[in-house]
């Protein structure tokens, strides 16, 4: 309990919060292993917002079976303590602690009591620990594994609890680690300097991360002031991909003889769903699959690593086909080379170049009706209208801009993967990971 007690002490001393609602090789995962061999390492991978409809559309988009197909072992229920439709904080809390809480709350009970997480239990058992995300590293899903606050919006407070406690932190959110005097969100503390003083290697570009080559013992990588870029827009940044961050984390953590626990989140699949940006959703799913390949490559060589993959909920109510047609054309999304947000930013003030922008970035020749929809949309809805037009062309349907409560696919590979067979609740996952690792974990 040592690691959890340190977190608890930090949480109790923190400010009061408001409660509220590449080079990657092709890897064939093969069938999930039912071996009872010892599990030294767990790689827990969460494609945020990902459900069966995303999986099917991605299969169409890719043109062949994705690597996750061969790892399918079951389905998972996602409801929170106070709602059949969960948010990421409550879903993540269940997936990290084995206890359901209310929407908006991060690894605390509905009454606000801190809950030990599976990452903290692994740390207490002597394992190295890591978090990787393309959001801010203090966003809801990574936050639930190493912090305890009543409101997911308390990202500066979350940073205080993550800093210097977890061996590898890779993602966005640099502002949450800097003092306000340097444009950050901390009152006074400079968490990056503190991390360096405590033996962390600090990196903030792809080049710096790759140069580590697994030599550092602890790594803090913050690659953007806020969230990292969508995969569609990554080529105009100096940021690493999710796969590159995953490999770097594994290279660092795997030096621990007692094993490691790593959580990897494909954060922006969810954001794409909220925006109804089908191309962004598919491209970030592709980036997530590349990260899964890195995990599987390590696991197949190591033979003591359990890989578990599950989305925390569905986002957007995506469908395969729609618009009163018997069609599905997600494969045409390969022609889309920018997010709807980026395309909207390329429009002139009068949006007179809408045809050129959609032709350039989406390979779409707009009809007169589609052009008018873009030109007459309210300013804050232009990107959404672009995304809707592209979704219509691909026959990717949507029922909501929020989350839905459908069950999500559950995937596993490696020793003890049979523990995840069938229809499980999201609270079952950390308990079964603890069983696989043979570590103490009971709330």
Q: Using CB atoms within 10 A of its CB, is residue 183 exposed (0-12), middle (13-18) or buried (19+)? A: exposed
Q: Residues in the chain, how many?
A: 443
- Positive or negative torsion for Cα 180, 133, 427, 405: positive
Of 117, 151, 150, 156, give the one whose Cα is nearest residue 138.
156
Was 290 annotated as part of a binding site? Answer: no
Was 388 annotated as part of a binding site? Answer: no
Neighbouring CB atoms inside 10 A of 180's CB total 12
- Based on C-alpha coordinates, what's the Rg of the chain? 21
Distance CA 311, CA 146 (A): 19
Residue given tokens 């994705």 in the structure block: 66
Of 158, 104, 151, give the one whose Cα is nearest residue 136.
158
Look up 147 and say whether it is catalytic.
no
Distance CA 398, CA 276 (A): 7
Was 28 annotated as part of a binding site? Answer: no
Was 312 annotated as part of a binding site? Answer: yes
Of 231, 257, 255, 251, give the one whose Cα is nearest residue 295.
251
Was 129 annotated as part of a binding site? Answer: no
Q: Which residues contact 12 (CB under 8 A, 6 or more apart)?
A: none
**Helices 278-302 & 52-62, crossing angle to 10 degrees?**
90
Of 11, 61, 100, 20, give the one whose Cα is nearest residue 312.
100
Distance CA 425, CA 187 (A): 39
Q: Which of 33, 51, 53, 88 is catalytic?
A: 88
Which ranges of 235-277 would DSSP assign to H, the alpha helix? 242-253, 268-275
CB 420 within 8 A of CB 440: no
Was 155 annotated as part of a binding site? Answer: no
CA 317 to chain centre: 18
Was 277 annotated as part of a binding site? Answer: no
Was 251 annotated as part of a binding site? Answer: no
In three-state secondary structure terms, 206 is: helix
Distance CA 333, CA 340 (A): 12
Distance CA 268, CA 277 (A): 11
Was 313 annotated as part of a binding site? Answer: yes
Which residues sit opposite 265 in a β-bridge?
46, 133
Report the binding-site residues for Zn(2+): 48, 270, 274, 312-313, 403
Q: What residues are designated binding site for Mg(2+)?
A: 48, 139, 141, 265
What is the set of active-site residues? 88
Residue ranges at the known binding site? 48, 139, 141, 265, 270, 274, 312-313, 403
């Amino acid at each position: 309990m040592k690691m959890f007690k340190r977190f608890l002490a930090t949480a109790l001393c923190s400010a009061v919060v408001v409660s509220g609602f590449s080079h990657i090789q092709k890897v064939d995962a093969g069938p999930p292993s039912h071996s009872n061999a010892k599990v030294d390492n767990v790689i827990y991978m969460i494609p945020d917002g990902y459900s069966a409809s995303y999986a099917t559309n991605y299969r169409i988009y890719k043109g062949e079976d994705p690597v996750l197909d061969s790892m399918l072992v079951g389905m998972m229920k996602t409801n929170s303590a106070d709602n059949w439709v969960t948010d990421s904080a409550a879903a993540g809390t269940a997936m990290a602690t084995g206890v359901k809480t209310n929407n908006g709350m991060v690894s605390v009970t509905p009454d606000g009591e801190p809950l030990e997480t599976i990452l903290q239990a692994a740390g207490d058992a002597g394992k190295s620990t890591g978090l990787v995300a393309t959001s801010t590293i203090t966003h809801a899903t990574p936050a639930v594994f190493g912090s305890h606050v009543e409101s997911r919006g308390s990202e500066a407070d979350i940073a205080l609890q993550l800093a210097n406690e977890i061996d590898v932190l890779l993602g966005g959110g640099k502002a949450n680690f800097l003092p306000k005097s340097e444009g950050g969100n901390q009152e006074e503390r400079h968490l990056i300097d503190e991390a360096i003083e405590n033996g962390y290697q600090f990196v903030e570009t792809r080049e710096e991360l790759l140069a580590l080559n697994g030599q550092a013992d602890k790594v803090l990588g913050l690659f953007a002031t806020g969230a990292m870029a969508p995969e569609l827009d990554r080529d105009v940044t100096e940021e690493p991909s999710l796969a590159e961050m995953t490999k770097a984390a594994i290279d660092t953590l795997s030096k621990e003889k007692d094993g490691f626990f790593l959580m990897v989140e494909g954060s922006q699949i969810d954001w794409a769903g909220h925006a109804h940006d089908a191309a962004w959703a598919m491209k970030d799913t592709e980036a997530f699959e590349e990260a899964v390949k890195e995990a599987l490559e390590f696991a197949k060589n190591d033979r003591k690593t359990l890989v578990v993959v599950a989305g925390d909920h569905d986002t957007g109510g995506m469908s395969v086909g729609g618009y009163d047609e018997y069609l599905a054309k997600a494969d045409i999304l390969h022609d889309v080379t920018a997010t709807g947000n980026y395309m909207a930013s390329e429009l002139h003030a009068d949006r007179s170049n809408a045809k050129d922008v959609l032709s350039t970035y989406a390979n779409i020749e707009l009809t007169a009706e589609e052009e008018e929809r873009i030109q007459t949309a309210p300013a804050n809805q232009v990107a959404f209208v672009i995304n809707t037009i592209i979704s219509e062309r691909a026959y990717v349907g949507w029922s909501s801009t929020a989350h839905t409560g459908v069950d999500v696919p559950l995937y596993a590979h490696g020793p003890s993967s049979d523990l995840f067979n069938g229809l499980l609740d999201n609270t079952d996952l950390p308990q079964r990971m603890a069983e696989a690792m043979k570590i103490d974990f009971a709330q």
